[in-house]
Amino acid sequence: GEDVEQSLFLSVREGDSSVINCTYTDSSSTYLYWYKQEPGAGLQLLTYIFSNMDMKQDQRLTVLLNKKDKHLSLRIADTQTGDSAIYFCAERANDYKLSFGAGTTVTVRA
């Protein structure tokens, strides 16, 4: 199957860490992605992780992958107001097709 699930909303205080969680079903996935969508904009690729890795860090972003549980998370350190957006988890189901979750709306409050 190609179902990707994630919680719909997350509210976080400015300066705190945000953690967005995602589960997927396709055990053959080789790449997993996090995209960011700001209001009225397209999808921006934030980061991705290859399935033989369990962690990837890129500045304020940390991706954790638990392949056994098919669980992916994105941690944003020192969350800023500019991080308010919808975050999509996606898996690459085959060479070209991406399967997306419904998106987590992150709201950063002062």
Partner 1 sequence: NAGVMQNPRHLVRRRGQEARLRCSPMKGHSHVYWYRQLPEEGLKFMVYLQKENIIDESGMPKERFSAEFPKEGPSILRIQQVVRGDSAAYFCASSPTGGRNTEAFFGQGTRLTVV
Query: Measured from the CB of residue 67, what is the shortest distance to partner 1 in angstroms?
Result: 17
27 vs 31 by CB, closer to partner 1: 31
Rg of the chain over Cα atoms, rounded to whole angstroms, equals 13
Contact status: 28 vs partner 1 (CB under 8 A): no
The answer to the question of residue 36 lying near partner 1 (CB under 8 A) is no
Could you tell me which stretch among 10-18, 39-47, 67-75, 76-84 binds partner 1 (CB under 8 A)? 39-47
Query: What is the greatest pairwise CA distance in the chain?
Result: 42
Main-chain phi, psi angles of 67, to 5 degrees: -70, -30
CB nearer partner 1, residue 53 or residue 102: 102
Q: Where are the beta strands (DSSP E) in the chain?
A: 4-6, 9-13, 18-24, 31-37, 43-50, 55-58, 61-66, 71-76, 85-92, 98-100, 104-109
Q: Is 102 in the site for partner 1 (CB under 8 A)?
A: yes
Q: Contact residues for partner 1 (CB under 8 A)?
A: 4, 8, 30-31, 35, 40-45, 88, 90, 92, 95-103
